[in-house]
Chains A and B, each alone.
Chain A
Amino acid sequence: MATEPAEPADAATANGGDAAREGAALVTGASRGIGAACAARLAADGWPVGVNFRSDAEGAEKVVAAIEAAGGRAIALRGDVSDPEAAEPLFAELEEAFGPVMVLVNNAGVRADGLVSQIQDEQWDQVIDTNLSATFRTTRRALTPMLRARFGRIVNIASIVGVKANPGQANYAASKAGVIGMTKTIAAEVARRGVTVNAVSPGLVETELTEDVVAEMVKEIPARRAGTPEDVAACVGFLASEEASYVTGVTLTVDGGLSA
């Protein structure tokens, strides 16, 4: 049973954010890393946030607690988005708490690396299901209220690996290239309703997902450092803002110059 969050009457303006409209933001895979940073950023911009997690309930609760401590609103939402049945209860729970989802950040992602001859069907399916198919399903579910509201912001977390070779990640590359292609086409389908769909492509970002590769890759990055989850969240915050209403179908690369 969640405790009643402290709700400043003017939470949106109190945070100086631009989420003056009704509704909520949903960030998938938000118990840590880039997702957690995106949740914090959107909450700071005034959105009540659904912090989705698959297994790390403790991490998600920490994200929620930090948002509430900063004067924002959030709830933790358990759900494995790679499950085709997961989207509906996830959205229903968030709608019940905070209203329709007007900002969706598809962040949940997994890696299962190996040279292509070593990748098993399970590793292929797992990566495609979580990174690509789940993004399709949550997007399809989110668009219903967004189209009616004549407003919506969908931001998909892609990767520079979606456009640039990275041996050992054929499955991951395929999933992220798929996300970029899907982003463009859905953006074109719904642009006339005030709904934007964009992707953010991080390069090397220091998270649990990448801790094994950071040291060896940093020397190849023009900025000479790995990115932070906050670097990515800043781009997501912009694309989710009112100001970005004429930006749709793009992939915003945030990689310290790695793919330049």
Chain B
Amino acid sequence: MAAPTQEAVEEKVIDAIADLGPERSEITRDASFESLDIDSLDLVEMNQVVDEEFGVQIKGEDAQKLKTVGDAIDFIVARAE
């Protein structure tokens, strides 16, 4: 499987976060999970989607370092390659 493009990951991550409640317009790369009211359990759910799509698992210690939507996208892109 070819590595997913930055755009593909970004789209999927934003979709997954939007499913968890926040307005799509608020979900930007710079938006923090805290400001979006996305908690640790939400990240677990988002990770399930990302794992299914890209085969990337975000482990506990990594998840704690992800503060913004951009952090998550960059993490997934790096691991999917």
Contact = CB atoms under 8 A, between A and B. Distances in A.
Contacts, number: 10
Interface residues of A, number: 7
A171 to B, nearest CB: 28
A189 B41 contact: yes
A148 B45 contact: yes
Interface residues of B, number: 4
Contacts of B48: 144, 148
Q: From DSSP, what is the main secondary structure of chain A's interface residues?
A: helix
A144 B41 CA distance: 11
B44 interface: yes
Contacts of A148: 45, 48
A224 interface: no
A189 B45 CA distance: 13
Contacts of A190: 41
A203 B44 CA distance: 36
Interface string B37-61: 0000100110010000000000000
Nearest to B44: A147
A192 B44 CA distance: 13
A144 B44 CA distance: 9
Interface string A181-205: 0000000011011000000000000
B6 to A, nearest CB: 26
Nearest to B48: A144
10 contacts: A144-B48, A147-B41, A147-B44, A147-B45, A148-B45, A148-B48, A189-B41, A190-B41, A192-B41, A193-B41
